[in-house]
Amino acid sequence: MDDNEVSDLKVEDEGEKVSPESESEESLFYDNDTNLLEKEKAEDSETDLEIVESERLFTTGQAELYLEACKVVGVIPVSYFLRNMEEAYMNLNHHGLGPKGTKAIAIALVSNTTVTHLELEDNWIMAEGTMSLVQMLRENCYIQELNISNNHLDTEGAKIITGLLLENLSSVWSLQLSGNNFREESAQYFSEALMVNYRTKELDLSHNEFSEKGGEFLGHMLAYNEGLTVLNLSWNHLRKKGATAVSTGLRVNVTLKTLDLSWNGLGNEGALALGEALKVNTTLVYLDISSNHIYNDGAGKLSKGLESNGTLKILKLSFNPLTVEGAMALITSLKKNPKSRMEELNISNVMVNEGFLRLLGGVCHIHPQLHVVHGDVGGQISKKPNLQPDPMVLIKNYLDEHKLKLWDFFKDMDKKGNMKIPVTDFQKALTQSLTGSEATIAANLRRGETLAESTDPAQQDAKGKAGAVGR
């Protein structure tokens, strides 16, 4: 730490500072401010605040330092922090610290040797407070787990945090940064830092704003990182390209064991990329891809990777639009893989049938450790629907056959010449104009079913125009 950073964490402000003698005197918390102690006891109904004499001197200095820091930065001391400075687990979530309150905490923790797990979620720390924490962590080698989720760090805070990761100086191995408005540019900072960082083992970047480009940065990072064992990217927007990039990095990564990609809109293409990665990856044990718009085709593509994977133990696929066909494809892949170590397959929303249960029973004889979480029994093998002709194609064919233009087609229906056609007249004209299968389509149009179910943008646009004419 340079001189400027050190001075920033010392309790000095316009000539006001802690005197050296105060370190050896009794604490303001324990002696000089007896009324404060009594008030804390009354408010929290705690009477057991005694500590052994060897710890008393240490805690006394820490408490006095914190109280003086609060006075200098202009914040009210947090009584919980004062009472628990000698505990390993410090939970200051939802205390409304703000940047200044965080700075006071950081000043007190610079020389603290007991706190190893620090919780600071939802305190509006922002980038300013993050800087105070980073300066403290460069000096404090005891804090190992840090949670600063939901603190409005934004891109500037991400830059500060990744600067610490880039140095490999901090002892923090578990870092939670969920919900901090990190976007694409933030992903680049994390990628550059984590490609060389080897100390951080667990990283939570969930509930942020990483999209496809951010996924590409993070995927590139995975190809080089040799420290991370747990990575949570859930509730972002990685989509197809982001999932493909992460999967590419996963193919060569040799340390990651747990990966959460739930709620990212990966789709069938993302499932295909992950399936290809699982064919060669030899370390991943836990994979969560719940709620990712993965259909039966995607499950089939993912299954190709499961046929040869020998390390994955837990696969979560719940709340994807799978049916029993996709579920059977997944189970069949495990049947084909004698070296599979799968212990839990979660497809909790999928209704299964007796055929699935029979297949599962056979697979469990091969892999007795396997537990499949599925929905109720009663699912049916879906049949492909008989596709009806496209109504817009029929109309186009009719116009071509009678050598009409679309304008003429509508003009003939406009009996009153006022450029308005009632919907019922439009439907009736269609029924009279078309025959055979065309008449069936027209009848469907009358009920408003076919076009309402259509997903083709051109069809939806045509429906809108027809409605506008009717109005």
Distance CA 234, CA 259 (A): 9
212 and 269 in a common domain: yes
Inside any domain, residue 27: no
46 forms beta bridges with none
Q: What is the largest CA-CA distance in the chain?
A: 104
Count CA atoms closer than 13 A to 435's CA, side-chain side.
0
Chain position carrying tokens 């929290």: 44
Chain position carrying tokens 């980038």: 127
Q: What is the CATH number of the domain that holds 306?
A: 3.80.10.10
Task: Please give the pLDDT value at position 396.
Answer: 74
Closest CA to 269 of 215, 331, 348, 346: 215
Distance CA 444, CA 243 (A): 40
**Proportion of the chain above pLDDT 90, given as a percent:** 67
Task: Please give the pLDDT value at position 422.
Answer: 75
Residue 206 contacts residue 218 (beta carbons within 8 Å):
no
Task: Name, in order, each residue with C-beta under 8 angstroms of 198's C-beta and a sequence gap of 6 or more.
Answer: 168, 226, 227
Task: Please give the pLDDT value at position 399.
Answer: 73
426 and 315 in a common domain: no
**Proportion of the chain above pLDDT 70, given as a percent:** 73
418 and 360 in a common domain: no
Task: Please give the pLDDT value at position 388.
Answer: 56
Residue type, 107: I
Helix spans in 402-448 (H): 406-413, 423-433, 437-447
Distance CA 297, CA 168 (A): 43
Distance CA 209, CA 238 (A): 9
Distance CA 72, CA 17 (A): 8
Inside any domain, residue 10: no
**Which residue has better confidence, 430 or 268?**
268
420 forms beta bridges with none
414 and 349 in a common domain: no
363 and 311 in a common domain: yes
374 and 394 in a common domain: no
Q: Does residue 55 register a pLDDT over 50? A: no
Collapse the DSSP code of 13 into the 3-class scheme (helix H, G, I; strand E, B; otherwise coil) and give the result.
strand
**Which residue has better confidence, 417 or 255?**
255
283 and 373 in a common domain: yes
Helix axes 406-413, 423-433, angle to 10 degrees: 110
Instruction: Quickly state the pLDDT bin for 247 (edges 50, 70, 90).
Output: very high
**Which residue has better confidence, 157 or 447?**
157
397-447 pLDDT, tens per residue? 777 777 777 767 677 777 777 777 776 776 666 666 655 445 554 555 444
Total structural domains within the chain: 2
Chain position carrying tokens 């060897």: 54
Task: Please give the pLDDT value at position 397.
Answer: 75
Q: Does residue 121 register a pLDDT over 80? A: yes
Question: Which of 378, 409, 441 is the last residue before a domain boundary?
Answer: 378
Chain position carrying tokens 């994955």: 312
412 and 285 in a common domain: no
Inside any domain, residue 131: no
Inside any domain, residue 72: no
297-316 pLDDT, tens per residue? 999 999 999 999 999 999 99
215-225 pLDDT, tens per residue? 999 999 999 99
Question: Which of 378, 413, 442 is the last residue before a domain boundary?
Answer: 378
Residue type, 99: P
To the nearest whole number, what is the mean pLDDT of the chain? 82
Residue 103: both structure tokens together: 């700075």
Inside any domain, residue 23: no
Collapse the DSSP code of 374 into the 3-class scheme (helix H, G, I; strand E, B; otherwise coil) and give the result.
strand
Lowest mean pLDDT among 37-41, 58-62, 265-269, 309-313: 37-41
Q: Does residue 30 register a pLDDT over 50? A: no
Mean pLDDT, rounded, for 218-233: 97
Instruction: Quickly state the pLDDT bin for 390 (edges 50, 70, 90).
Output: low
323 and 196 in a common domain: yes
246 and 316 in a common domain: yes
Task: Please give the pLDDT value at position 391.
Answer: 65
Does the model's pTM come out above 0.75? no
Collapse the DSSP code of 203 into the 3-class scheme (helix H, G, I; strand E, B; otherwise coil) and give the result.
strand
Task: Please give the pLDDT value at position 52.
Answer: 32
Q: Residue 397, exposed/middle/buried by CB under 10 A (0-12, 13-18, 19+)?
A: middle
385 phi and psi, to 5 degrees?
Answer: -70, 150
Most confident by average pLDDT, 46-60, 244-258, 376-390: 244-258
Instruction: Quickly state the pLDDT bin for 455 (edges 50, 70, 90).
Output: very low
Closest CA to 219 of 179, 181, 251, 183: 251
397 and 365 in a common domain: no
Helix spans in 281-347 (H): 296-306, 324-336
Q: Does residue 296 register a pLDDT over 70? A: yes
Mean pLDDT, rounded, for 235-262: 97
**Which residue has better confidence, 461 or 396?**
396
> What does the angle CA 214 – CA 219 – CA 225 come to, to the nearest 5 degrees?
120
Count CA atoms closer than 13 A to 444's CA, side-chain side.
18
Inside any domain, residue 459: no
Inside any domain, residue 316: yes
How many angstroms from the chain centroid is the CA of residue 194? 18
Instruction: Quickly state the pLDDT bin for 61 (edges 50, 70, 90).
Output: confident
Closest CA to 205 of 137, 253, 157, 269: 157
Task: Please give the pLDDT value at position 48.
Answer: 33
413 and 280 in a common domain: no
Q: Does residue 346 register a pLDDT over 60? A: yes
Inside any domain, residue 58: no
Task: Give me the domain span that covers residue 424.
Answer: 387-430
